[in-house]
Amino acid sequence: MQNNNYDEAEKIINATDIVALVSKYVKLEKQGKNYKGLCPFHNEDTPSFVVSPEKNVAHCFGCGGGGNPVKFLMQIENIDYKEAIRRLAEFNGMEFKGGYREKKADPKEKYYKIMAVANEFYQMYLENSPEGAEAKKYLYDRGLTDIDIKEFGIGLSPKIGDTLYQVLKESDFLELDIADVSLVDKNINGYHDIFAERIMFPICDRDGKPIAFSARIYNSIDKNQPKYINSRESKIFHKGETLYNFHLAKAYMRKKKRVILHEGQMDVIATYRAGLKEVICTMGVGINDSLVKIIKKEVSEVIICYDSDKAGIEASRKAIRLFRNNGFQIHLVLMEGAKDPDEYIKKYGKEAYIDFFESHLMDSNQYLFETSIRGKNLKDSNIKEEVTNEVFELIQGMQARTEMEDYLRRFATILDTSLEALKLDFDTYCNNHAIPKAIDMYPNVPQYEIPTEGFYNPYPEEVLEPKEVKKNKWNSLCELRLFMYAKSSKALALEINQRIDSCLQALSINSQRLWFKLIDEFYVNFDEFDEAKFINMLQENEDVNYYLDMLETLRGDVVPYNEEDMNLCIEKLKQIGIDKDQKAIQQRIISSLDVAEQSRLIDEKFRKKRTKESLKNRRK
């Protein structure tokens, strides 16, 4: 039996065109009888990777990588022998059963076949229709070549409403199956194509199979039309689990031991064409924990290069948190002279872009520092205070004292103040914003009593006041109830987030972490709350324990959840925030030697007090 398996594997290996196989991963040039290209297994400038069709082997004379078809595939895809043989059989259109039990039919296979036929049709229509000529001109104007169009599988959807539908029906696919992959919709007139008169970018899974499309307008005069339309989620496509260009980039990621993360497809294509091929992007959602784990299987260094606008910077800052939590080495590139890589390459060319990219890598602390002060009017005392607190929080979290000293010195120069004065302010900030030790934040046995009444008010004629819980992990029970409201509805969560945005510091550190996880990650990927999925997103055991303790604490909370109560909780949280601000201001008044500054701070303290009193009066 083993000999039969061996003979079967040998037939598959011998039937493999090594040049065709390697060309999927390496750009080869013919030199005599052989082919030559840059090694996919190590960095090099001079090609030393040789492919011999006669011997049916590929070999790098620099690092020794390669071998026959199965050895090459095992190395490039990081898979075992049996899986490599199976993939080679698929590559050759052959069958291989050796060493495997008879597999059950994959119920999703029909969807993959539908998407493959659709992808081939869109590509054919781009190449062979009058509309295709116009669409190709648009792509040429964007700098793409025919080679690029073929490599990325770019196509075109027809203007006529059911052309693709008719093609798929003629291929004997069922209407419901076609609809399941979001290629057609149905109205009173019957089925019609979802995508019409758009350039089609296939979105592939990790094995290169098309599972969805991103469709871009190219000639519409209707400015109300969205620039891009992406496939809806389906049985084979989930936005929160898909990375664009991952199938092409993963070999280069392993070779360069890093990944470049962009915001959009055109940036990915532009960077890939420029020669930085280890590049990917998410599918219209922020980076999330599931995607980080997919990347982590390949590399542990990420370079985040998002747009340089406000939204891009904010998305980068959120991404930093996620990658830090997963142990990545992080660098970022802040674009200058253009808002994104695609625009930069158009303006200055590929070589200038690569030179700029590689020479402007900054670590995450540097990026957070630069973007905290970028474009801020530091002559405005309120903005200056806000920026100072943000920078102090960053510096406080640094591990090395030399790094802290360096950033304090740089910040003092920017503020045009002495390093000594800034250090005094920083010390005051640290005293008021001490980072709790893990053992204090997450005791094995909760150091609080579980309330049996919660928000219960035995005197309904009196104003209901959220009841503060002393000596526990949270500042007030109201923050826990607000989290429950946020779990009940995505829309409500976003509303609450907007209303408490100015007082998020009033949440305890633990609750802040859960809040950011819920708003910035969970609801970015899901529209309805799911307990199991949310707990699965919590990376640290301490976060899970804190969340479970929170649920246990609220178990005895008998007050009904309603809009009035939610508003009271929000107002209570704002009061807590004001109390914290007042304490910080008082410390600054004590430490300040400047009479004018003391006077300004006293005025600010009384403004905070009046704001707090107005919140109390609002409930009477």
Predicted confidence (pLDDT) per residue in 284-293, tens digit: 778 888 899 8
Nearest to 20 by CA among 86, 88, 83, 116: 88
What are the strands, taking DSSP E only, across 53-183?
A: 57-60, 66-67, 155-156
Which among 225, 385, 226, 376 has a CA at the least distance from the CA of 310? 376
The pLDDT score that the predictor gives to residue 301 is 94
Going by pLDDT thresholds of 50, 70 and 90, the confidence category of residue 436 is very low
pLDDT at position 461 is: 35
Q: Among residues of the chain, what percentage have pLDDT more than 90? A: 37
Does the structure show a pLDDT above 80 at 463?
no
Q: Over the chain, what is the mean pLDDT?
A: 81
Q: What is the CA radius of gyration of the chain?
A: 29
Which residues on neighbouring strands pair with residue 544, listed in sequence order?
none
Strands (E), 401-535: none
pLDDT beyond 90 at 508: no
Q: How confident is the model at residue 607 (pLDDT cuts 50, 70, 90)?
A: low
Tell me whether residue 113 is exposed, middle or buried, using C-beta atoms within 10 angstroms of its C-beta: 0 to 12, 13 to 18, 19 or more.
middle
Residue listed under structure tokens 């859960």: 514
- For 453, residues 6+ apart whose C-beta sits below 8 A from its C-beta are 467, 556, 558
Q: Is the pLDDT of residue 615 over 60?
A: no
By mean pLDDT, which of 333-347, 392-406, 507-521 is the weakest? 507-521
Q: What pLDDT shows up at residue 274?
A: 94
Q: Per-residue pLDDT tens for 160-198?
A: 789 999 999 999 999 889 999 989 988 888 889 999 999
Q: Is residue 104 predicted with pLDDT exceeding 80?
A: no
361: three-class secondary structure by DSSP: coil
Task: Name the band, by pLDDT with cuts 50, 70 and 90, for residue 434.
Answer: low
pLDDT at 2: 47
Kindly state the tokens that stand for 353: 């872009």
Q: Is the pLDDT confidence value at 16 over 70? A: yes
pLDDT given at position 506: 77
**Of the candidates 365, 354, 374, 294, the residue with the CA atom closest to the CA atom of residue 332:** 365
What are the beta bridge partners of residue 50?
A: 36, 59
Q: What is the dihedral of CA 417, 422, 424, 429, to 10 degrees?
A: 140
Is pLDDT at 507 greater than 60 in this prediction?
Answer: yes
Tell if the pTM clears 0.75, that is, is over it. no
590 falls in which pLDDT band (50, 70, 90)? low
pLDDT tens digits for 341-372?
999 999 999 999 999 999 999 999 999 999 99
Cβ atoms 239, 283 nearer than 8 A: yes
Pick from 257, 280, 256, 258: nearest CA to 267: 280
pLDDT at residue number 142:
85
Q: With CA atoms as reference, report the closest residue to 311 among 280, 339, 330.
A: 339
> What is the reported pLDDT for 247?
92
Angstrom CA distances, 581 to 209, 337, 601, 607, stand at 55, 39, 11, 11
Amino acid at 190: G
CA angle 68/245/348 to nearest 5° reads 110
Whole-angstrom CA distances from 67 to 15, 49, 56, 60, 73 are: 15, 11, 9, 9, 9
User: In terms of pLDDT, which residue wins out, 155 or 567?
Assistant: 155
**Is residue 237 pLDDT above 80, yes or no?**
yes
What pLDDT does 539 receive?
60
pLDDT at 369: 94
Contact 253, 278 (CB under 8 A): yes
Better-scored residue on pLDDT, 507 or 250: 250
Sorting pLDDT into bands at 50, 70 and 90, what band is 465? Answer: very low
Cβ atoms < 10 Å from Cβ of 48 = 16
What letter represents residue 582's amino acid?
A: Q
Tokens of 495: 């509303």
Reply yes or no on whether the pLDDT at 85 is more than 90: no
State the pLDDT at residue 76: 84
Q: Are 576 and 475 in contact (CB under 8 A)?
A: yes
Q: pLDDT band at residue 597, thresholds of 50, 70 and 90?
A: low
Place of tokens 């998410």: 282
Confidence at residue 445, expressed as pLDDT on a 0 to 100 scale: 28
